[in-house]
Amino acid sequence: MNRKIGIRFEDKYVMERRVAITPEHVRKLIQDEGLEVYVEPSAKRIFSDDEFKNAGAVLTSDLNAAPVIFGVKEMPNAFFEYKKTYIFFSHVIKGQSYNMPMLKAMMEKKCNLIEYEKITDDAGKRLIFFGRFAGLAGMINSLWSLGQRLKVQGIDNPFSVLKQSHFYHSLDEAKSAISMVGDEIKKNGLPKALCPLTIGFTGYGNVSKGAQEIIDLLPIVEISPKELLSLTKVGVINNKVVYKIVFKESDISEPRVEDATFELQHYYKHPEAYKNAFGKFVPHLCVLMNCMYWDINYPRIVTKDYLAELYAKGEMKLKVIGDITCDPNGSIECTHTGTAIEDPVFVYDPQTRKPKMGFEGDGILIMAVDILPSELPRDSSIAFGDALFNYLKPITTANYQQSFELLDLPGPIKRALILHNGELTPDYQYIKKFL
């Protein structure tokens, strides 16, 4: 029975500072569960090497001794070792072409792959995720982006005092700063050029809830999508509130067949039968927070053609898109790539269809940081590790040489096992067509 695990150094992104297992979790694994923990040193990790060492871990430049290795993001093809078990966000379940070589490398080495994103309960609900923190950091960044963009455009605004998420020492500090902006809005109002300030959210899951947790620190009035369309027609606009709108699937898409009724489960099973219906809302939004799940089977919600058409009609109300979903050329088609924490925003010009990094230029500012939870690395790592902790020992001690049917793993973990000894497990056979 294996009792050794490894924690890998994260090297995919310069600013990736998260861990799946914190020093406190390591201490419990060693003292209470009798496991051995090996940790690759890292100068940038939010928890120091000394913290792991003091918790009882062995610091080592390689993880040869550990048959089971935990990480956060993708690992290099050359890193994988024969018949070892790896747990990380692999980004292969949509058949992502850029990660198929990595998956092939794991298959050739007969590795086991457990995907955090697929650790779910019997109803399919995710149990372990960074989504809330993606929403939290994404909303903080988007309010900061709004402030800086307006500043470039010569509009004094209360958001200009905010900072990018990772410059705050903690989530509590960031929340305090945003609450102070809320007090400023309640006291002195918003600039006329920004009113009514409308912020829309696509989706209502963990990511959206995290983003709304931040926006709710401001003086909020929540209105329906239908009310958004008539907001400027109701008379006097309150300049001391922010209008929040949450869009559900039925607001975003509609059946292709005329007079057909939107049915949620049918939409999930047959997305090709639906078309984008979101365009009517976009001209009424100042900020769009894209927080929903998307893959290529679903309609895009903001296309380049639509933005070009809208922009040709004159100056748009839409200032910022916080694309937390961050699918390149995806639901927000002008998100051509995920951005880095150290270079987080670009301005997309609908006329030239070209992006320009930074806050200046004609068009719409896009914030599309690819690893948003790493902007709140300590808070997000602790919450993630807490959710993962009870599965750590079963993952570590399992006998992976058994057949898949006899493999003794908790249900949520077994459902997340994409590769077993280098072979795609039954639920993931569909990935073969992408290989």
Mean pLDDT computed over 182-208: 95
221-249 pLDDT, tens digit per residue, is: 999 999 999 987 766 678 999 999 999 99
Q: What percent of the chain has a predicted confidence (pLDDT) above 90?
A: 93
pLDDT at 46: 95
- How many CB atoms neighbour CB 223 within 10 A? 17
Instruction: Identify the DSSP state of 426.
Output: G
pLDDT at 237: 79
pLDDT at 235: 63
Point out which residues pair with 365 in neighbouring strands. Answer: 320, 347
pLDDT of 334 higher than 80: yes
pLDDT at 236: 67
Mean pLDDT computed over 82-106: 96
Q: Are strands 4-7 and 68-70 parallel, antiparallel or unpaired?
A: parallel
Mean pLDDT computed over 298-307: 95
Cβ-Cβ contacts under 8 Å for 268 (sequence gap 6 or more): none
pLDDT at 313: 86
Banded model confidence at residue 186, pLDDT cuts 50, 70, 90: very high
Q: What is the mean pLDDT of the chain?
A: 95
392 contacts 347 by C-beta, under 8 angstroms: no
101-158 pLDDT, tens digit per residue, is: 999 999 999 999 999 999 999 999 999 999 999 999 999 999 999 999 999 999 999 9
Least confident residue range of 16-20, 314-318, 381-385? 314-318
pLDDT at 233: 74
pLDDT at 158: 97
Q: Which helix (H) or strand (E) holds 200?
A: strand 198-202
pLDDT of 353 higher than 90: yes
* DSSP calls for 141-188: HHHHHHHHHHHHTT---GGGG---GGGSSSHHHHHHHHHHHHHHHHHH
Q: Which helix (H) or strand (E) holds 307?
A: helix 304-312
pLDDT at 316: 81
413-427 pLDDT, tens digit per residue, is: 999 999 999 999 999
- pTM score > 0.85 for this model? yes
**Which domains does the chain carry?**
4-129+381-430 (3.40.50.720), 131-375 (3.40.50.720)
pLDDT at 269: 93
pLDDT at 199: 98
